[in-house]
Amino acid sequence: MLKAYPVKALKDDFNLSGLKQDDLINDVLSSETNDSILSFGFRNFGYLHQNLYVFDYSGTVPRVINIAGSTIIDDITTHNIREINLTFDIEYSLFNPQSASQEVLIFRCPVKVIINNKHVIIRINILERNANSYYSHKVFTIGKDIEDRNIISRIHTAFGLVVNLYPLDITKGIKFLWEDNFIDAAYVKFKKSRSTTTESMDEEHTLKDNYPDVYNEITTTPLDKNVFRVKRDVDDYINTFAVEPRKGKLAFKRFPFKVDSLEKLLDLIISNN
């Protein structure tokens, strides 16, 4: 799990001075307890590569929940905002040519669930584990036993039949930030009346800056899959993120600049939605 965090987070939180991630992780494993490592993980959750899903909901989430296959680390409500921190142990199946057999590696996946009076937000660490880094020879990954959809389904089931989740369409919020020149598209997929069109920009170019006529066309159409670059206040946010607005899904595959950067970006989107 520690490999999912940037070196800076490890050094700052554990007061370490090494340069290499593996050395830092070995120092942590030799000096910290399992509980303190998990505590570090959720203090620094905002640094993780993650998929973030936003839902409207109806009903009342029960005070005590049991999410199948998970370990709940803590469940705390502050100022009417409930945060549930949990982990799933996800099995990666692989084929090992040396033993000519199928083997399993288990990775711990941190998940954060946020419940306020309007939305349920589910944030899931994107598992980008390279099984080959654990072997001295090449192995072949077959698949993993739990995907995001399984995690979301298990959380929804734990909420009970009285709670319904509806993906929040964040198109309006995305288009507001786009019009305000806070973000611009590096890749966009959008619907026309009889077709689906994509525009993919080269290098660091963005669509609105270079093709304002295409941008004007897109402003009145539904958005599908998109990649945006943050144009302003980048040091407080992140360079690039992907979004599927009608599904209420954002994906962050780069480290943000600050631990609360992704939370702040989501607040910007929702507050203008």
Q: What are the pLDDT digits (tens) for 72-119?
A: 999 999 999 999 999 999 998 999 999 999 999 899 999 999 999 999
Looking from the CA of 200 toward its CB, the CA atoms found within 13 Å total 2
Residue with tokens 């994107």: 126
Residue-level pLDDT at 129? 67
Which of 144, 151, 149 lies closest to 112, judged by CA? 151
Which of 252, 80, 81, 253 lies closest to 265, judged by CA? 252
| Ranges assigned E (strand) in 194-239 | 196-200, 223-230
Angle at CA 113, nearest 5°, toward 112 and 114? 120
13-22 pLDDT per residue, tens: 999 988 889 8
Does residue 264 have a pLDDT over 70? Answer: yes
pTM for this entry = 0.93
Least confident window among 61-65, 146-150, 192-196: 192-196
Mapped onto helix, strand or coil, the DSSP state of residue 65 is coil
112-130 pLDDT per residue, tens: 999 999 999 999 999 876 7
Average pLDDT over residues 239-268: 96
CB of 269 within 8 A of CB of 177? yes
Residue-level pLDDT at 203? 82
Neighbours of 176 (CB within 10 A): 17
The span from the CA of 168 to the CA of 85, in Å, is 22
Q: With left for phi above 0 and alpha for psi between -120 and 50, is residue 228 left, alpha or beta?
A: beta
> Largest alpha-carbon pair distance within the chain?
61
Least confident window among 161-175, 183-197, 205-219: 183-197
The span from the CA of 198 to the CA of 225, in Å, is 9
Residue-level pLDDT at 46? 97
The span from the CA of 158 to the CA of 151, in Å, is 11
Mapped onto helix, strand or coil, the DSSP state of residue 61 is coil
Residue-level pLDDT at 10? 94
Residue-level pLDDT at 127? 80
The span from the CA of 41 to the CA of 48, in Å, is 9
Supply the mean pLDDT for the chain: 93
